[in-house]
Amino acid sequence: MKKLLLYFFLFAFPAVSFGQASKNYKTLADSAFNRQEYYAAAYYYKHIADAATPSKKEAVNLYVTYKLAESYRLYKDYTDAAIWYAKANTPEGVKQYPQIPLWYGVSLQANGKYQEALEQLNLFAGSAADDKYLAIAKKEIASCGYAMKQMENPRAVDVSPLVFLNKDQGDYALSVNLGRYWFTSSRMVEKDKFYTNRIYSSAILDSTKALATNFNAFDKEGQFEYATPALDGTGNRMYLTRWYKKGGKTVSAIYLSKLVNSVWQQPERLNNTVNADGSNSKHPFVTPDGKRLFFSSDRPGGEGGDDIWESDLDDYGQPTTVSNLGSTVNTIYDEQSPCYDQANKALFFSSTGFTGMGGFDIYRSDGDFGHWSVPSNLGYPVNSSKDDLYYNLDPNNANKFYLSSARGSDCCLSLFTGQYQALYINGKVIDCGSGKGMAGARVLLKDPAIKRGILAAVTDTAGSYVFKVKEKLPSYQVEISQKGYFTKTVPAPIVRPGIDTLINPDICMQSYKVNVPITVDNIYFDFGNANLRPESFGTLDKLAGVMIDNPKIKIELASHTDGIGSDADNLKLSQKRAEACVAYLLLKGVKQGRITAKGYGKRMPIAPNKLPNGKDNPAGRQLNRRITFTVKSVG
């Protein structure tokens, strides 16, 4: 199992008499550290640090300080880890232990001190010689930048602890099934001597009472712990994780228990399709129809660490197939605690492998059966600087969810609930020429992250539209289309918590007719040549946007001159200017076959170049020096 095991169990170790002077605490500490029992190691290292006399502190301080910081970090007590890394973060300390700035930065990041974390991470990245640790530093630098932006623009979500279910120790992996909460807790009950993970349930209407699930003979075996309940839609089948210690290592597997005559039967280990020999499987999630199982495993054939896998289940609830969700979802780091929204084909899972707030973050990937979109981070405040896992949907409220998070804790996960705020995105579509509202325009709300429309509407007689969404993503866009007008896509405004109505500015739609030229203002060239001046780029960028938003139209981009000079010279100059504009648009992603450059010279004036008395007409010549584009076809 990985470091997340702290959230499966709390390390327990026997009491030791510290009164015996011959006790070698360093040996005990090092031995515990090497066994990956970091809680015990920290206890012993801390005893050495506290007991050292001033004369001995210099000799033991650096080694003990560094190992103590490492022990705290590895069992996820980042508050104390940061304190001890700070003590070790001296020139001599970094010389002996070069990774101190990296792990100090990671600990500061976990405590939400992103700017201070960046200083340490950048310091380490500037001197790192090991590619492995340099990659970690770069990933966390990106995450710190992402987190600070998220804190500035949090998503419209309320997240609060489930105080009536949480206890002092670990509580996690909550789901709702047939009117009951199901979750895991390491709380002590009855005659317990150690904190032991068990599955609990509570009636939603009486959530102050949580009852431990009794698996009969299974409960009596002692050294086994079980957690992460996942029930199918009938509430009669429960998939769970069971683990034990063997040879200093933790071995976990997924089991199935069935409810018979209101009694949960002894769980049976799933076959090797899920529980591969020599590997660990955990974190089951079963779809409501009972036909598919998602889980996390370090079995061979994955991307590295823990990966998300899925299996088809037969009529008896046993797995018949297994497949890895692939490199789009899985990374070389850890992916855990999957949850699949079958109705919306959305997978939620936690990972340390993508840019995030810190630790495990929750992500969403849309798709099914091997086709998954690039995961998107659920953002702040769904995610925090600490570990966030076990995202689960409320079956009775589409705007409500549950998660397990270590925010506000130095050791353990607690249960939280979240509520997406109801928001309204509305605005008005007008005709650019008349300024009047456009009735009947089609408006599509889009999320570019998943490359599809989410909601559609039609403007009313005043040109107004409105969308009601459960939350507002900064990446949302509004696409407006109407026959005879250029389709336009604009970003929706960024939402902040507490805002329940969002008003888009009026969106102006430009009409067009096939083979009727439209003059493009504010495109400038150096005198007498075809060099585009920088102040032209903004206008051409907008024209490129029109082409991209309207992928089926083909246009002619034309250049015109005034009447000064010969016809041949003006034709040559105008052709070069038209080609310069087209070249710029091609660089912006417009496909070459959709746009043609044409120079007309002085042959198509729209105003007189001279006054009736034969004198020069500067105003008329300025109108004639123009760039136009003409829609030649629309499909």
Extract the tokens encoding 173. Answer: 């992996």
Percent of the chain topping pLDDT 90: 72
**289 φ, ψ (degrees, to nearest 5):** -80, -5
Residues 6 or more apart whose CB falls under 8 angstroms from that of 292 comprise 286, 310, 311, 312, 313, 340
Nearest by Cα to 406 from 389, 381, 382 = 389
H or E segment and range at residue 225: strand 225-231
Q: Is 52 exposed, middle or buried (0-12, 13-18, 19+ CB in 10 A)?
A: middle
Each residue of 230-254: pLDDT tens digit?
A: 999 999 999 999 998 776 678 999 9
What confidence category does residue 14 fall into, taking pLDDT thresholds of 50, 70 and 90? very low
- The pLDDT, as a whole number, for residue 9 is 35
Each residue of 307-342: pLDDT tens digit?
A: 999 999 999 999 999 999 999 999 999 999 999 999
Residues 6 or more apart whose CB falls under 8 angstroms from that of 5 comprise 250
Q: Please state the rounded mean pLDDT for residues 23-47.
A: 89
Q: Is 267 exposed, middle or buried (0-12, 13-18, 19+ CB in 10 A)?
A: buried
Each residue of 592-634: pLDDT tens digit?
A: 999 999 999 999 999 999 999 999 999 998 899 999 999 999 9
Percent of the chain topping pLDDT 70: 90
Each residue of 420-465: pLDDT tens digit?
A: 887 788 889 999 999 999 999 999 998 877 667 889 999 999 999 9
- The pLDDT, as a whole number, for residue 504 is 61
Each residue of 363-387: pLDDT tens digit?
A: 999 999 889 999 999 999 999 999 9
- The pLDDT, as a whole number, for residue 599 is 96
Checking if the pLDDT of 17 tops 80, the result is: no
CA dist., res. 216 & res. 340, Å (int): 31
Each residue of 546-556: pLDDT tens digit?
A: 999 999 999 99
What's the half-sphere exposure (Cβ side, CA atoms, 13 Å) at 374? 7
Q: Which of 5-9, 101-105, 237-241, 364-368 has the lowest mean pLDDT?
A: 5-9
The gap from C-alpha 185 to its chain's centroid, in whole angstroms, comes to 27
Each residue of 130-186: pLDDT tens digit?
A: 899 999 999 999 999 999 999 998 888 999 999 999 987 899 999 999 999 999 999
Q: Which of 61-75, 109-123, 413-427, 486-500 has the lowest mean pLDDT?
A: 486-500
What's the half-sphere exposure (Cβ side, CA atoms, 13 Å) at 405? 27
Q: Is 521 exposed, middle or buried (0-12, 13-18, 19+ CB in 10 A)?
A: exposed
CA dist., res. 162 & res. 408, Å (int): 13
Extract the tokens encoding 373. Answer: 């979109």
What confidence category does residue 494 fall into, taking pLDDT thresholds of 50, 70 and 90? low
Q: Please state the rounded mean pLDDT for residues 259-282.
A: 95
- The pLDDT, as a whole number, for residue 473 is 63
**Which residues on adjacent β-strands are paired with residue 405?**
388, 414
CA dist., res. 287 & res. 76, Å (int): 32
What confidence category does residue 6 fall into, taking pLDDT thresholds of 50, 70 and 90? very low
What confidence category does residue 61 fall into, taking pLDDT thresholds of 50, 70 and 90? confident
Checking if the pLDDT of 15 tops 80, the result is: no
Nearest by Cα to 273 from 250, 295, 257, 244 = 295
Nearest by Cα to 467 from 459, 458, 455, 477 = 455
CA dist., res. 622 & res. 521, Å (int): 11
Buried b / exposed e across 115-154, counting CB within 10 Å, b at 16+?
ebbbebbebbbeebeeeebbebbebbbebbebbeebeeee
Q: Please tell me whether the overall predicted TM-score, pTM, comes out greater than 0.95 for this model.
A: no
| Higher per-residue confidence, 116 vs 5 | 116
- The pLDDT, as a whole number, for residue 21 is 31
Q: Write down the mean pLDDT value for the chain.
A: 89
Q: Is 492 exposed, middle or buried (0-12, 13-18, 19+ CB in 10 A)?
A: buried
